[in-house]
Amino acid sequence: MSDVHGNVDALRAVLAEVDRLGCSRILNLGDHASGPLAAAETLDVLMARDDMVSVRGNHDRYLLKPPETLGPSDAVAAAQLTDAHMEWLAALPTTALVDDVFLCHGTPDSDETYWLHDVTPRGDLVDRSGPTVAALAATAPIEAQVLLCGHTHLPRIVQLSNGAVMLNPGSVGLPAYDDVTPVPHVVQSGDPAARFAMMERRSRGWDLSLHRVAYDASRMVALAQAHNRPDWAHPLQTGWFDS
Ligand SMILES: [Fe+2]
C-alpha cells in the first residue's frame, strides 16, 4: 500500500480487507500522514501494526522540517502529531529490501521523482517509456524481482526487460491531486475508492493483483471542508481533481 495521506477511514477499510485476505505482511510505501485529514489517528493505526514494513515518502520527510517552512497540507498534519509520531517518521528508511522485493516511494534515488509516469512541459501526465523506467531502476538492488513504488497515486504494473516487475499500488487515501513540480499538473485516478495491491509468491513467480476497496469517505470529506480544502474534498468524493 502507499500514500495514505492521513485518510484513516480509507486505511482502516484497506487493513480490514488485507486481514480478511490473510496477508502475512504489509509493505507500505510512504506519505503516511500529510494532509488536512486525520494525521495523528493514521499514525496511531500504522504504528500499532507489527506486520508492516514502511518506507518514508517525500511528505513524511517534509513533516520533519521546521513548521514555518511547511506547505498547507503538511502544516495541518504536523500540528496534530506528537513527539512519538515524529520519531516514528524520522526512523523510517528511504528504501527497503524484503527478500526479493524492493520498496521505495518515488524511485530508488529520489522520493520526489515519478517512476512510471512523466510530466510533459505542458503539464500532461504520460506513461514513461520502458527504457526510461528501466534506467531509473539501475540503482535498485540487483536481486529485486519486484520493484515497488508509490508517489503518483496511480495503480500500474509493468515488466522490465530484465524480467523484474514494477508495481505502483495506487493511493489508499488520496485519489487525485495537483502539484506545481516540475510544472503545474494534475494527477487523477478517476476513482474515489481506496487502492492497494496484493502479492502472492508462486513457484512460477510472483502473482500481483490490484485491489479496489469502497469505503465511506464522508468523515474525511468533512475534515477537508473544515480546513477549507475543496481541492481535497472533491477528489475524496469523486476520484477526480477537475469538476
Ligand atoms: Fe503522495
**Confidence at residue 56, expressed as pLDDT on a 0 to 100 scale:** 98
- Beta-strand ranges (E) seen in 2-87 are 26-28, 52-54
In this structure, what C-alpha cell is assigned to residue 101? Answer: 522485493
Q: What is residue 55's predicted lDDT score, i.e. its pLDDT?
A: 98
How many Å lie between the centroid of ligand 1 and the Cα of residue 202? 30
pLDDT mean by block of 10 residues, the chain; 243 residues? 98 98 97 98 98 98 97 97 98 98 98 97 96 95 96 97 96 97 96 98 96 98 98 98 85
Class level of CATH domain 8-238: alpha beta
- pLDDT at site 234: 98
DSSP run (H or E) holding 117: strand 117-119
**DSSP for 162-179?**
TS-EEEE---SS-SEEEE
Question: pLDDT at position 36, please?
Answer: 98
User: 5 alpha carbon to ligand 1 midpoint, in Å?
Assistant: 7
Contact 176, 236 (CB under 8 A): no
CA 59–ligand 1 middle distance (angstroms): 7
Task: State the virtual CA torsion across 162, 157, 63, 96 in degrees, nearest 10.
Answer: -40
Name which of 31, 78, 66 is nearest 179 in CA terms: 31
* pLDDT the model gives residue 123: 96
Distances (CA, A) of 164 to 137, 161, 210: 10, 7, 17
Task: Give the Å distance between the CA of 141 and the centre of ligand 1.
Answer: 23
Query: How far does the centroid of ligand 1 lie from the alpha carbon of residue 173, in Å?
Result: 9
Model pLDDT, residue 20: 98
**What is the pTM for the complete model shown?**
0.97
Ligand 1 center to residue 15 CA distance, Å?
A: 18
